[in-house]
A and B are shown apart, each in its own frame.
Chain A
Amino acid sequence: MTRTYRLGTHSVTALDAVSLVVPAGTFTAVMGPSGSGKSTLMHCAAGLDRPDGGTVVLAGTDLSGLDEKRLTRLRRDRVGFVFQAFNLVSALTAAQNVALPLRLAHRAPSAREVLAALDAVGLAARARHRPAELSGGEQQRVAVARALITRPAVLFADEPTGALDTVSSRDLLERLRGLVDDHGQTVITVTHDPVVAAVADRVVFLADGRVVDTLDRSDRPVDAELVAARMAHLEV
């Protein structure tokens, strides 16, 4: 797919004919320097943005044919999101935040269902707290619980550890890895952080809107140093 932005008089090609297949039940990390198009790739793949050319097929549905309302419904039912920050609605408690996608879908969330989702990220005890009363790591875990409440086909994470300390970071990554290994969840993350990428099954490197490299765990063991080395190679 291709995505071009118009900025005043000149236009910027954020994605230049990128083609990518992500198998279900895998953990994919998209890496690249700033401006490489990795965020645009994720936005388009998740149905937050539309490519100018090409198509996105998400869990068997072609997104290009959908109007805004259908696209929203698809996002609500088939896609989960975790952002770098500002993930939660400050007016709502942790439990209310987790239940939000179900309520937007006009489904009455059962208390047990919500509590189970929070329990899965180890936060059942903090269900009644508001975001301001939670640490950054706890907020991200609530975001994960919310993203998973609809049992989405794909979980998208945009720099999920960007605002976290090392300990919280490692904890979050382990939980994401666990989702893939234990529940067959498909996870796609965009990141700067080689440590995050090292947890993935496959790392896709982007530069100037093109896929320039991939690392696959099935080919060779992937660790943070290797990822960092590849990144460094890209940035020169």
Chain B
Amino acid sequence: MLSLTTAAHRWRTLLGTALSLVLGTGLLAATAVVIASATAQAPQRYAAAQVLVSSPTVYTGRIGIPEHRPWPTEEAERLAAGLRALSGVRTAVADRTFPARVVGGPETEGHPWSSLALSGERLLDGSAPTGPDEIAGPGLRTGAVMNLFTTTGIRPVRVSGTVSGDPLVHGIYLADDVAADLASGSRVIGVVIDDGAEPATVAAAVSEVVGSTGAVHAGAGRARLETEEDSRTRWVGAQFLIVLGTIAGFVSVFVVATTFAFVVTQRRREIALYRAVGATPGQVRRMLLGEAAVVGLLASTAGGVAGAALAPLLGEWMVNVGMQPLGWQPRTVFLPTAAAIAAGVLVALLGVWSASRRAARIRPVEALRESSVERRPMSRTRWLVGVASLAGGVAFAALTPVAAASTLALLAVLAVIAFVVGAASLAPVYVPALVGLLCRPWRRHRGPTAELVREQSVVGVRRVASTTAPVLVTVTFAVLITGVIEMMDDALAAGDAAAQPAPVVVSPAQGLPGVTDAAVALVRDSGVSRSVAVLPTTVVVDGRQLNAAGVDDRVAGRPSGPSLDPPDAIAVSATLAAERGWRTGTVVPLIWADGRPGRATIGAVLVDAPAPVILSLANARAHDPGALVTAVYADGRTPEDLAATVADQGAAATTGVAYQNAEAAEEERLVRLFSVVMLGLVLGFTALAIANTLVMSTAERRRDFAVLRLSGAGVSQVLRVVAVEAVLLVLIGTVIGAVAAVPGLLGTAAGLADDFGVDVSITVPWRTVLGVVAGCLAISLVASLAPALAAMRGSAVDHVGDRR
């Protein structure tokens, strides 16, 4: 194989390509393994229940996560009893889930004791909990007394028994009747079948009993019952991995394409020689494709295997930062790895495609020419790709303002990718001109540096373009990623600032999920001038789930806010009222959060409502025992005072501003993490690309350097020319890169302004961007000066005749 021989000989020039392919394929393989392994899993709590029944779906959200209307307690019990009577069924239990956590303990949830039968775990010692003051569960010591958090309040309880299993999975068990009062209905009935019974047969019998009041899942279908939280987490993780994979794929293609474009330029005479001794254009093209395939296969295999090996680490990290549900583990490895390797080879072939076509057009006579001046650096393909990409970029950028928040990031990335490809393709058109322009101020300077830099950029257009391109990509992504995040922060802050912060905010402490009802009452009765507690809940109207808020707004101890008379009346937002044709006094049939149907009279229509449906806090709590108050807003007492009042109830008090900042910081955490990973990734790749091109081209210029030295230039003068050129190219790449990011930023600003209803102006954290540019500059200088120095070792005369 000719390709094998030449690839082996040219390994030094192909090293950069190989490295970026190893990196790219490694990342692709790792992300692919994590995505493929992140499939919905049946909750581990139902390990022993071969058949599961879920309550009816009322609504399927935009990202495909279904919302269930729970069965009210009595209905769930009736259904479970009916199922227990079936033959082949050992037991059927209506499970419930509600907030329950030992203060200072792991982040658990509470369940009824009878649901232990569904998990396959068992009581290790002690006994089942009875009454409101006993709990049991894994990781607890029988007989110990601990403080238990539930929505009603924090109170001391005794551990009646210890159970096998994992606290994070199996949670805390309470007596069945206590659990029923703390949970908002039941969403799952688990069926444990007799030994030897056929799950499919039992499932069919269960279906008959359940009818249209629920859905039956058996076997692999049990995975449908993964918790909503896990589905969301997986969705967020998938978004992250998709963007990661897209950028990794694009940057690899980019590096491979620019490297090979350059390889072809460097090997012009060799390729012309092949043509002269009888290689057809097709053979030349196939030779380069073959080389890329050889390098691609080797590098991709290495990268794919490494990526698959590292996938568990990526998965674990994502679990830790909350982007994969607990219990993620590598499940599918072979196929995603193979796909990543295939993608790597494809990337290599795509990268070399245009270069190989250009190589095939090299004419055999060129083997006889001395001159290395490129005759036509802009091929027709390059023009076509450049102009088409710019047009595509405009189209994507135009779509960004009207895109939903979820697709906004991807569209912005696509727009910028298109602009980068366009700018890089057209680089030979404008880079030499820009270099000339930048050298102009020194035209009358006596030293030769400016003139040499200018002329060399005109002669080595391809080299100059290949060096500018990676800087351009890095700066573009740096500006885009940091800019988008800065703008999102601004939009969030502007949204927050629009709502005047309360003087004091009481919020959960010690890792607890909410403010207990007892704490709400303590704040209300502590002599504050005003207190507002909000309980987020939901109601279903006409088969559509609506967000609702139970509000307790008191001024000087007396109820304030919307008039809700009678106490079980509701208030609705003007938007919803207009949409439904409701007025004050309309009686609306609805289903409460605990699954019970009811009717409510509309007591008020609100122009400025925090949720579409407003009800009294007491009413909301009565229908949704499992909901959590996230914060209580107060005025009239100091944060220190209130903190002392609510400390026993696991709550803390701070100023409203401090609370908002803490909230915003939490919201930003994932976004920042996201950006750091992306930025690191892009920078790593482009560093590789910059270093690769410069090392390749500087070594190639050995002869030029030798001629310069023979003409009387000192080593330091030659180095100065090299350094000035590197600085100029980084400068040009930075400017063009920053400009290429602008449409993406404009689109994002428009999209954010739309979503948050605030004005968002383009802001870019210049300090970070300048840091990135400085990084590019450092890489460029090292990568051009070091090989230039090495190339000038020894006598200049030896290198003049050296054509390799």
Q: Report which A residues bind B (CB closer than 8 A).
A: 39, 43, 48-49, 68-69, 72-73, 75-77, 81, 83-92, 96, 100-101, 103-105, 132, 146, 150, 158
Given contacts A90-B270, A91-B6, A91-B9, contact A81 B281 (CB under 8 A): no
> Which B residue sits closest to A105, measured CB to CB?
B278
**A104→B368 CA distance, assembly (Å):** 20
Are the C-beta atoms of A86 and B269 separated by less than 8 Å?
Answer: yes
Are the C-beta atoms of A81 and B5 separated by less than 8 Å?
Answer: no
- Is B804's beta carbon under 8 Å from chain A? yes
Given contacts A76-B278, A86-B269, contact A49 B367 (CB under 8 A): no
Taking CB atoms, residues of chain A closer than 8 Å to B765 are none
Beyond A68-B280, A83-B276, A132-B804: 17 further Cβ-contacts under 8 Å?
Answer: A49-B363, A72-B280, A73-B278, A73-B280, A75-B276, A81-B277, A85-B803, A89-B6, A89-B270, A91-B5, A91-B6, A91-B9, A92-B9, A100-B274, A100-B277, A105-B278, A150-B278
**A158→B283 CA distance, assembly (Å):** 25
The 4 closest A-B pairs by CB, nearest first: A76-B278, A91-B9, A72-B280, A104-B278
Are the C-beta atoms of B365 and A101 separated by less than 8 Å?
Answer: no
Taking CB atoms, residues of chain B closer than 8 Å to A85 are 803
**A54→B278 CA distance, assembly (Å):** 24
Given contacts A83-B367, A96-B5, A104-B279, contact A91 B274 (CB under 8 A): no
> Which A residue sits closest to B802, measured CB to CB?
A132
Secondary structure class of chain B's binding surface, majority of residues: helix
**A39→B279 CA distance, assembly (Å):** 21
Taking CB atoms, residues of chain A closer than 8 Å to B279 are 72, 76, 104
**A101→B364 CA distance, assembly (Å):** 14
Are the C-beta atoms of A86 and B367 separated by less than 8 Å?
Answer: yes
**A91→B273 CA distance, assembly (Å):** 13
- Is B282's beta carbon under 8 Å from chain A? yes
Distance to closest chain B CB from A86 (angstroms):
6
- Is B498's beta carbon under 8 Å from chain A? no
Are the C-beta atoms of A43 and B278 separated by less than 8 Å?
Answer: no
**A220→B117 CA distance, assembly (Å):** 117
> Which A residue sits closest to B9, measured CB to CB?
A91
Q: Which chain B residues numbered 350 to 366 have a C-beta less than 8 Å away from chain A?
A: 363-365
User: Which residue, B5, B10, B365, B368, has most C-beta atoms of chain A within 10 A?
Assistant: B368
28 sample A-B contacts, Cβ–Cβ < 8 Å, listed by A number: A43-B365, A48-B365, A49-B365, A69-B280, A72-B281, A73-B278, A75-B276, A75-B278, A81-B276, A88-B273, A89-B6, A89-B270, A89-B274, A90-B270, A91-B6, A91-B9, A91-B10, A92-B5, A92-B9, A96-B5, A100-B274, A100-B277, A101-B278, A104-B277, A104-B279, A104-B283, A132-B804, A146-B277
Are the C-beta atoms of A86 and B273 separated by less than 8 Å?
Answer: yes
> Which A residue sits closest to B365, measured CB to CB?
A48
- Residue in contact with A101 in the complex, picked from B277, B363, B367, B804, CB distance below 8 Å: B277
Are the C-beta atoms of B273 and A68 separated by less than 8 Å?
Answer: no
Q: Report which B residues bind A (CB closer than 8 A).
A: 2, 5-6, 8-10, 269-270, 273-283, 363-365, 367-368, 803-804
Distance to closest chain A CB from B271 (angstroms):
10
Taking CB atoms, residues of chain B closer than 8 Å to A83 are 276, 367-368
Are the C-beta atoms of A75 and B804 separated by less than 8 Å?
Answer: no
Taking CB atoms, residues of chain B closer than 8 Å to A100 are 274, 277
Taking CB atoms, residues of chain A closer than 8 Å to B269 are 86
Taking CB atoms, residues of chain B closer than 8 Å to A68 are 280-281
**A49→B527 CA distance, assembly (Å):** 100
Distance to closest chain B CB from A103 (angstroms):
7
Distance to closest chain A CB from B566 (angstroms):
92
> Which A residue sits closest to B275, measured CB to CB?
A72
Distance to closest chain B CB from A146 (angstroms):
7
User: Which residue, A39, A43, A49, A104, has most C-beta atoms of chain B within 10 A?
Assistant: A104
Taking CB atoms, residues of chain B closer than 8 Å to A91 are 5-6, 8-10
**A77→B278 CA distance, assembly (Å):** 8
Are the C-beta atoms of A69 and B277 separated by less than 8 Å?
Answer: no
- Residue in contact with A39 in the complex, picked from B270, B282, B368, B804, CB distance below 8 Å: B368
**A156→B421 CA distance, assembly (Å):** 45
Are the C-beta atoms of A89 and B273 separated by less than 8 Å?
Answer: yes
**A83→B803 CA distance, assembly (Å):** 15
Taking CB atoms, residues of chain A closer than 8 Å to B282 are 69
Taking CB atoms, residues of chain A closer than 8 Å to B273 are 86-89
**A101→B9 CA distance, assembly (Å):** 19
- Residue in contact with A48 in the complex, picked from B5, B9, B274, B276, CB distance below 8 Å: B276
Given contacts A43-B365, A69-B281, A132-B804, contact A90 B9 (CB under 8 A): yes
Distance to closest chain B CB from A79 (angstroms):
8
> Which B residue sits closest to A83, measured CB to CB?
B368
Are the C-beta atoms of B278 and A72 separated by less than 8 Å?
Answer: yes
User: Which residue, B5, B277, B280, has most C-beta atoms of chain A within 10 A?
Assistant: B277
Taking CB atoms, residues of chain A closer than 8 Å to B364 are 48, 75
> Which B residue sits closest to A68, measured CB to CB?
B281
**A88→B2 CA distance, assembly (Å):** 14
Are the C-beta atoms of A90 and B278 separated by less than 8 Å?
Answer: no
Distance to closest chain B CB from A184 (angstroms):
22
**A76→B274 CA distance, assembly (Å):** 10
Taking CB atoms, residues of chain A closer than 8 Å to B281 are 68-69, 72
**A68→B274 CA distance, assembly (Å):** 14
**A68→B282 CA distance, assembly (Å):** 10
**A85→B281 CA distance, assembly (Å):** 23
**A68→B360 CA distance, assembly (Å):** 11
User: Which residue, B269, B278, B283, has most C-beta atoms of chain A within 10 A?
Assistant: B278
**A90→B274 CA distance, assembly (Å):** 12
Taking CB atoms, residues of chain A closer than 8 Å to B804 are 90, 132
**A18→B330 CA distance, assembly (Å):** 76
Distance to closest chain A CB from B268 (angstroms):
11
**A150→B278 CA distance, assembly (Å):** 11
Taking CB atoms, residues of chain A closer than 8 Å to B277 are 75-76, 81, 100-101, 104, 146
**A103→B3 CA distance, assembly (Å):** 12
Distance to closest chain B CB from A56 (angstroms):
15
Taking CB atoms, residues of chain B closer than 8 Å to A87 are 273
**A73→B177 CA distance, assembly (Å):** 91
Taking CB atoms, residues of chain B closer than 8 Å to A89 are 6, 270, 273-274
Taking CB atoms, residues of chain B closer than 8 Å to A90 are 9, 270, 804
**A150→B276 CA distance, assembly (Å):** 14
Are the C-beta atoms of A104 and B274 separated by less than 8 Å?
Answer: yes
Distance to closest chain B CB from A222 (angstroms):
27
User: Which residue, B8, B274, B276, B281, has most C-beta atoms of chain A within 10 A?
Assistant: B276
User: Which residue, A43, A88, A91, has most C-beta atoms of chain B within 10 A?
Assistant: A91
**A58→B188 CA distance, assembly (Å):** 89
**A152→B111 CA distance, assembly (Å):** 91
**A186→B615 CA distance, assembly (Å):** 105
Given contacts A43-B365, A49-B365, contact A103 B280 (CB under 8 A): no
**A67→B324 CA distance, assembly (Å):** 60
> Which A residue sits closest to B281, measured CB to CB?
A68
